[in-house]
Amino acid sequence: MSQPRRGYRAGVDPVLLAASVGARAGESLLDLGCGAGTAALCAGRRVPGLVLAGLERQAPYAALARRNAADNGLEMTVHEGDLAQMPEALRQCVFDHVIANPPYFRRTASSPAQAEDREAAMGEETPLDTWVEMAARRCKPKGHVTFIHRAERLPELLAAFEARLGSIELMPLVPRPGRESQLVLLRGRKGGRAAFRLHAGLLLHRSATHEGDREDYTEAAQHILRDGAALVFDR
């Protein structure tokens, strides 16, 4: 995967998001705010035959996503446009899976990044409720919407999901033993009727503290991040 030398660079978050999608060959996936295409392309590599699409408002990142898809031998339709005003071609489509890794930080309570492209990726301009609304609109009946986001934003994210989706499932991502969850995966089904489920959290690192630059992912996290394994909610 190619990424910009400066500005926003994808970490493990989109990889974990992609791993959590329970897709099958022949189904379709839309990545809202796809950036360089990390999440969608990770899902496409894990699930051969998955039909991929992305929406990205920054032209350089959209171009990079197309290049990354070509370099990895995957087909991905990347639309350029704003989430709240989607291109007409995308508004005519619905998908089995819609995923998103929205900007994490409300700028009413945090400072903006100096790099313009990094700020666009990390600083919230479009309300989180709009992200969920647009994701639900592009999702097929009985399809799934999955977001990764900060745990502190969970109350408003849950409210947005509950207003538009059912069969909601939550998985905390626990950074280290004894630490509070900083990130969560939230999944809902369009038209779903099952009761809310809170799954056991995925522990990412074995050690309770950071011990230099050596890698100490748990076995489960290692399989997901390095081996392309699925992140199964029913653990």
Tell me the pLDDT tens digit for each residue of 76-104.
999 999 999 999 999 999 999 999 999 98
> By residue range, what is the domain housing residue 28?
13-227
112 pLDDT above the threshold of 60: no
CB-based contacts of 6, cutoff 8 Å, min separation 6: 115
Q: Which residues pair with 147 in a beta bridge?
A: 100, 186
For 23-65, write each residue's pLDDT tens digit. Answer: 999 999 999 999 999 999 999 999 999 999 999 999 999 999 9
Is 7 within a domain? no
Is 232 within a domain? no
Cα angle: 100, vertex 102, 106; to 5 degrees: 160
Q: What is the CATH number of the domain that holds 44?
A: 3.40.50.150
Is 209 within a domain? yes
**Element holding 119 (H helix, E strand):** helix 116-122
Q: Span 147-165, mean pLDDT?
A: 97
Q: Give the count of domains, the chain.
A: 1
Is 8 within a domain? no
Is 67 within a domain? yes
Q: How far apart are CA 136 and CA 143, in angstroms?
A: 9
Query: Is the CA virtual torsion 21, 27, 32, 35 positive or negative?
Result: positive
For 163-187, write each residue's pLDDT tens digit. Answer: 999 999 999 999 999 999 999 999 9
Q: Is the full-model pTM beyond 0.85?
A: yes
